[in-house]
Structure 1
Amino acid sequence: MIAKNDNSMITEIINEVGETCLITETGCNIVEVTDETFEEEVLKSEKPVLVDFWAPRCGPCKVLGPIIDEIAENTPYVKFVKVNVDVDNSQKTAPTYGIRVIPTLKLFIDGKIKWTQEGVLSKDVLQKNIDDNVQTK
């Protein structure tokens, strides 16, 4: 176990395959990805993937984080990943996908961007956008 985020009651661990996972009561719901793991975890995923481009220094990211944590816990048909744009091993992915504002969310289905949101949005609006886009796959 590496750390516990008291705000959202999420525990961060390294799982058996070396991924950094954020663990809730329902299991490994959010995976931290890097430039090296983005293709495998996102573009090749069989499930739709919601990617959160964020940074620890970002105030709006701190607001959106617990919302994503809660949705991830209750949305098993979508994979949730986070890309920390402030770390050295994730410097290529954000520019590749045109990230200029954080937080930015991108929903990938079959390796393609289906939906994008810049900035914070409510839990209900985020859940609706996920569900609307996943159902129209």
Structure 2
Amino acid sequence: MATTTVTDDSFQADVLDSDKPVLVDFWAEWCGPCKMIAPALEEISEELGDKVTIAKMDIMENTETPGKMGVQSIPLLVLFKNGEAVSQKLGAAPKGQLKEWIESEL
């Protein structure tokens, strides 16, 4: 299961109304650290796909949701459960650390 792309229009349905936890990666094309963690997030999505949905939101194409969430720096990973942001992690990290953080929050 690969990562999902979410937009301002789909955020409510894909993230807030999801019946399982959703990790949203707020990123942008020009962001080097965002590109560094993208392959790790793809792999984590394959490994934990039944427990969590990993979604990506391009903050340059979608400005409404990041604005509401107060996203100021990227990459910003925000974990949502039952429509609530329950945890977040700012900046790039190795795959092992990312996976450990996600699993500890599920």
Question: Does 2:66 match 1:86?
Answer: no
Question: Does 2:70 match 1:98?
Answer: yes
Residue 47 of structure 1 and its aligned partner are, at CA, apart by 0.6
Equivalent-residue separation in structure 1 for 2:47 and 2:17 (angstroms):
23
Secondary structure in 2 matching 1:74: helix
| Percent identity between the two aligned chains | 37
Residue 95 of structure 1 and its aligned partner are, at CA, apart by 0.9
User: Which residue does the alignment assign to 1:24?
Assistant: none
Alignment of 1:12-31 (within 5 A): 27=1, 29-31=2-4
Residue 121 of structure 1 and its aligned partner are, at CA, apart by 1.0
- Structure-1-length-normalised TM-score: 0.74
Instruction: Considering Cα pairs closer than 8 Å and 6+ residues apart, tell me whether 1 or 2 has the greater RCO.
Output: 2
Question: Does 2:46 match 1:73?
Answer: yes
Residue 116 of structure 1 and its aligned partner are, at CA, apart by 0.4
Q: What residue ranges of structure 1 are gaps of 5+ in the alignment?
A: 1-26
Question: Does 2:55 match 1:46?
Answer: no
Q: What residue ranges of structure 2 are gaps of 5+ in the alignment?
A: none
Q: Which of structure 1's runs of 4+ aligned residues deviate more than 3 A?
A: none
Equivalent-residue separation in structure 2 for 1:61 and 1:74 (angstroms):
20
Question: Does 2:11 match 1:33?
Answer: no
**Greater Rg over alpha carbons, structure:** 1
Task: Please identify which structure carries the higher helix content.
Answer: 2
Coordinate RMSD, CA, aligned:
0.8
Task: Please identify which structure carries the higher strand content.
Answer: 1
Question: Does 2:30 match 1:57?
Answer: yes
Equivalent-residue separation in structure 2 for 1:132 and 1:117 (angstroms):
13
Equivalent-residue separation in structure 2 for 1:121 and 1:114 (angstroms):
19
